[in-house]
Chains A and B, each alone.
Chain A
Amino acid sequence: DVKVTQSSRYLVKRTGEKVFLECVQDMDHENMFWYRQDPGLGLRLIYFSYDVKMKEKGDIPEGYSVSREKKERFSLILESASTNQTSMYLCASRILGTGLYEQYFGPGTRLTVT
């Protein structure tokens, strides 16, 4: 079974703090993704990575950065957290070459910025 894990299920941070969200997958997947999930908006792509040290902006990258130093780990960084970044954050991974395009999701991190 593919396993995607995220470092925290719940996180509370203060405005202006630097926040790190970690995601690890154990199936040697090349592609990894960060989404935020908000009611009525579905999932929106923040950043994705095709492979180690590669990153691409998604639809809502403002206020976020990412790091992928190892294939299994993809980190989302909020440089200076703001209240409008309170949300559920989902990580996903995907293997290349199968032609199936299925993404496997982590359990999510519910971040509250006060």
Chain B
Amino acid sequence: AQTVTQSQPEMSVQEAETVTLSCTYDTSENNYYLFWYKQPPSRQMILVIRQEAYKQQNATENRFSVNFQKAAKSFSLKISDSQLGDTAMYFCAFILIQGAQKLVFGQGTRLTINP
């Protein structure tokens, strides 16, 4: 079975700092996608960034970028120039391309950006 582990339950940084959220996963398959989702307080969960396992290049979306290390099964999220609006729960998630295509989530990291 596939598993996703986020080892940092909570993190806190000052506004404008850079922060990195860790995620590791376990699978014996080769074809999959990885995601980071953001859940702001009392608001809907939204997709932050997506990475296809077959792509070596790390995905970036504005201030958000990932460090995808396939051999190490690591998928960290870097937020540059953090803003107050980045305060949220962040979930790492994994999906196999074949089979049931169910999303498997990590435990989440609660990130607080302080003014």
Interface residues of A, Cβ cutoff 8 Å to B:
4, 33, 35, 40-45, 48, 56, 58, 90, 100-103, 105-108
The 16 sampled A-B contact pairs (Cβ below 8 Å) are A33-B103, A35-B105, A40-B9, A40-B107, A42-B91, A42-B107, A42-B108, A43-B91, A44-B105, A45-B103, A48-B102, A101-B33, A101-B95, A105-B45, A105-B46, A106-B44
Name the B residues within 8 Å of A41 (CB-CB). 107
Contact with A along B76-103 (1 / 0, CB 8 A): 0000000000000001000101001111
How many B residues touch the partner, as a band?
20 to 34
Interface residues of B, Cβ cutoff 8 Å to A:
4, 6, 9, 33, 35, 37, 43-47, 50, 91, 95, 97, 100-103, 105-108
Q: Of A45, A105, A106, which is within 8 A of B102 by CB?
A: A45
Residue of A nearest to B32 (CB): A101
Name the A residues within 8 Å of B33 (CB-CB). 101
Inter-chain contact B43/A107, CB cutoff 8 Å: yes
Name the B residues within 8 Å of A33 (CB-CB). 103
Q: Of A35, A58, A102, A107, which is within 8 A of B44 by CB?
A: A107
Inter-chain contact A42/B103, CB cutoff 8 Å: no
Q: Of B4, B43, B45, B50, which is within 8 A of A90 by CB?
A: B45
Interface centre among B45, B91, B105 (most CB of A within 10 A): B45
Inter-chain contact A102/B91, CB cutoff 8 Å: no
Alpha-carbon distance between A4 and B44 when the two chains are bound, in angstroms: 9
Q: Of A43, A44, A58, A101, which is within 8 A of B101 by CB?
A: A101
Q: Please name 10 further chain A to chain B contacts, defined as beta carbons within 8 Å, in addition to the given A42-B4, A42-B107, A43-B105, sorted by A numbering.
A: A40-B108, A43-B91, A43-B103, A90-B45, A101-B97, A101-B101, A102-B47, A105-B44, A105-B46, A107-B43
